[in-house]
Amino acid sequence: MKSAGTYFSRHNFPSSPSGSSSSLPWISPLQFTKAPTPKPDPPTETNVIPAEGRRKHKHISHESAINLIKREKDPQHALEIFNMVSEQKGFNHNNTTYATLLHKLARCKKFHAIDAVLHQMNYETCKFHEGIFLSLMKQYSKFSLHEKVLQMFHAIQPIVREKPSLKAISTCLNLLVDSNQVDLARQLLLHARKSLACKPNTCIFNILVKYHCKNGDLDSAFEVVTEMKQSKISYPNLITYSTLMEGLCQSGKLKEAIELFEEMVSKDQIVPDVLTYNVLINGFCHGGKVDRARKMMEFMKTNGCNPNIFNYTTLMNGFCKEGKLQEAREVFDEMKRVGLKPDAVGYTTLINFFCKAGRIEEAIELLKEMKEKECRADVVTFNVILAALCREGRFDEALEMLEKLTVEGVYLNKASYRIVLNCLTQKGELEKALTLLELMLDKGFLPHHETSNELLVHLCKAGMANDASMSLFELLEMGFKPNPDSWGLLIELICRERKLLLAFELLDELVMTET
């Protein structure tokens, strides 16, 4: 019988660069040494066993095999290790070694290999656990391979030789619902009820409530809750009510959400937590009733539930959207006063709205405070400030910030440079734009297509033929294809200056880009 790895290496994986395979015999380095010099025969009375005869190959245990597969970056080599250890006398792979290999293959997107390994698992005698398939479901969902998620669910019973548990059903269903895979979710539910005779528990019911709320079908969501109350194995819990309240808030039914909140507390005696309160705070903020959101925050304090960073950030964001920056700053200061440490999201929220209000100095002060408090600003924070500086025409400061952050080792993405280049081009700051373009191209960042064309047009209109030509050649090397207008203006300008050789070179490039 072929091992799973051997099957796949022959049918799906490309051969390794060396052309070697785990099926080939191991070659000792001693075989590559020079030919040994003749030695006299040993005395007849000695019974010395040659060193090669005494050498034993070290047995690789399951634990060692798992560690080797985990450490191997190349999935082909991981598969070869899997094959190699299986050739040991008396060694049989188990659930853990298979799980380790499949996890490695899934992370490396070797999906054909996974199918081959799963096929081989059907013929193994060891006991497998459904955890392998739950892990694969999550990996496939991450790569948006939703049909494969359902396929992994259906693979559980034939390989594990047991019906999928309620946990497996809820995991698969939740992944499909979160991905808006309505038809696949229905297929799963139909299969669970008919073929598996599954009686939904609270977890599965909650996923169904979420499914209906996401689709705006609140009537169906409440029908599920009614069914839960009639069921003997489930009853609505905090997650159920929080999901329903969020659905009501998103539909603008704030009054009904509050009524449901009161029913949950008074009738079902369920104590709300910070996440439940945050649903209502966020709902009021989005509904333009930020003052009600603030009262909800006060209510949760008086009822012994201390707000967390998310509650404060949500309320602060609500005040910012209504242009109430002073109130937002008060919420921010209160958060620090009660001992909570603002995160990058909280700082960026406030920085963003200060920038939009033209209060850049306050935004920069907050950025400095982040550094002092050792709260690492991310690229989104820096891009917000760069855009604000450019809107105010403070290009020198924006360029200085780009240079300073690069020297300090701060990661900036192509958007950081594009923001500044777009503004420099639009404002006609051509010399500064050329300097920044050079820096961008050195870092491998290509400007927006329209920005590049706009810059070339501006350079041509300013009579800067040489700069336009050099910029164009550099952009072409990065894969840029200019608009015909840009070509026409540049050729016309060069011909007018009688630089015919350069014109012919540009025409050659034009022909090459079109072929």
Least confident of 71-80, 183-192, 215-224, 382-391: 183-192
- Does the pLDDT at position 4 exceed 50? no
User: In this structure, which topology does domain 272-375 adopt according to CATH?
Assistant: 1.25.40
pLDDT given for residue 201 in this prediction: 86
- Nearest partner of 452 among 443, 462, 441, judged by Cα: 441
Least confident of 28-37, 75-84, 501-510: 28-37
Domains of the chain: which residue ranges? Answer: 199-270, 272-375, 378-447, 452-515
Of 15 and 82, more confident: 82
Residue 514: pLDDT band by 50, 70, 90 thresholds?
A: low
- Nearest partner of 478 among 515, 440, 514, judged by Cα: 440
- Does the pLDDT at position 402 exceed 50? yes
pLDDT given for residue 126 in this prediction: 92
- Does the pLDDT at position 48 exceed 70? no
How many CB atoms are closer than 10 A to CB 386? 26
Residues 6+ apart with CB under 8 A from 83: 3, 5, 6, 9, 22, 23
Task: Summarize the confidence of residues 404-415 as an average pLDDT.
Answer: 86
The CB-based long-range contact list for 192-196 (8 Å cut-off, 24+ gap) reads 196/163, 196/164, 196/169
Report CA 360 to chain centroid distance, whole Å.
31
Residue 482: pLDDT band by 50, 70, 90 thresholds?
A: confident
Write the pLDDT tens digit of every residue in 67-117.
999 999 999 999 999 999 989 988 999 999 999 999 999 999 999 999 999
* Rounded Cα–Cα distance for residues 119 and 277 (Å): 48
